[in-house]
Copies of this chain bind each other. A is one copy, B any other.
Amino acid sequence: MNAKRGFASDNNSGVHSDIIKAIQEVNSGHTIGYGSDKYTEKALQKFKQIFGKYTETYFVFTGTAANVLGLSAVTKSYHSIICAETAHINEDECGAPEKFTGCKVLTAETPDGKLTPDLIKKHLYGFDFEHHSQPKIISITQATEMGTVYKPDEIKQITDFAHKNKMLVHMDGARISNAAVSLNLPFKAFTTDVGLDILSFGGTKNGMMYGEAVVFFNSNLAPDFKYIRKQGMQLASKMRFIGAQFLAFFENDLWKKNAKHSNEMAQYLVSKVKNIPAVKITQPVEANGVFAIVPKQIISELQKEFFFYMWDENKSEVRWMTSFDTTKEDVDQFAEKLKALL
């Protein structure tokens, strides 16, 4: 029998009840489609309050779309995009960035998922040389795919480095709420305030049903994004239901409560397994992901009850993600089972 909640991914969870409630509350009468309704407009205002008045925000359906369309808005096909080898845009989007932007995606190896100017600079050459894809934008992930979190000054080093080279910086913020909670900082402190250019702001992995946002920190960056979104097949007709979800997401700091809980459950999980000799935590646990090496022979048995993914078959490294709805009991049962198997 499977557990009610596993540790596969924060998108294996359901939807927070406040989000569902918000959806119900706006479900009355007609509103103009495609984003000209009052809920969407109010939600977009909220994004301006959070990130600053010079920002422009657009809602899309998925995180992949937020990344790809955001990158698409500021690139031409002869540009290159630089990211960590583990980045979602490199590993998990089936080549959507290449297909949709035409750009070359260049990667840097980084064990903890974080880029630095030093890791990036090997790709910065061939400027003005027509035979070579022109480096245009650096994409970082916050929190990273490895469960680590960039500090504001680490991001600033990257944006300074990028801007000095006439490049831009994009952040894949599928788990930006977990990062904000981890840093104990408002979103603005590690985005607007450190020179970020584009953000994919994630909702789905933190308790929403669907809906992500593309935030441009300078409205000149994408004067034509509405066409890019529509042509990108990401313009919702009944947009009010995305607007309503985001309103609920920010109302009473639901985003923070969800992310805080999720991060705490990751710490709780660590506390439960770190002293097991056969288990080795492999990354700093700064958000809601726990990476660990566990004995290969118990993995499939453990997976029978609790969903989770193998991360690196060769190293017998697994990934455990906690979620807004993970409970202490889930963790306790999981740790018990793990111990029992060893």
B92 touches A103 (CB 8 A): no
* Interface class of chain A by DSSP: loop
Take A132-B92, A227-B130, A241-B209 as given contacts and tell me if A24 and B33 are in contact as well, using a CB distance cutoff of 8 Å: no
In the complex, the answer to whether B231 meets A62 with C-beta atoms within 8 Å is: no
Most buried by B among A20, A98, A233: A233
Cβ–Cβ contact A231 & B30, under 8 A = no
Chain B contacts for A24, CB-based, 8 A = 20
Whether the Cβ atoms of A231 and B6 lie closer than 8 Å is no
A interface size (C-beta, 8 A): 77
A232 to B205 Cα, complex, angstroms: 20
* Interface pair A68/B233, CB less than 8 Å apart: yes
A174–B271 alpha-carbon span in the complex (Å): 52
**In the complex, are the beta carbons of B307 and A30 less than 8 A apart?**
yes
**Complex: how many Å from CA A77 to CA B62?**
20
What's the least CB distance linking A201 to chain B, in Å?
Answer: 15
Residue in chain B with minimal CB distance to A102: B99
Docked-complex contact B8 and A307, CB < 8 angstroms: no
The segment from A9-17, A156-164, A283-291 that touches chain B is: A9-17
A133 to B107, CA, bound (A): 15
CB of B238 within 8 A of CB of A11, answer yes
Cβ proximity bits A199-233 to B, threshold 8 Å, 1 near / 0 not: 00000110001100000000000001011111111
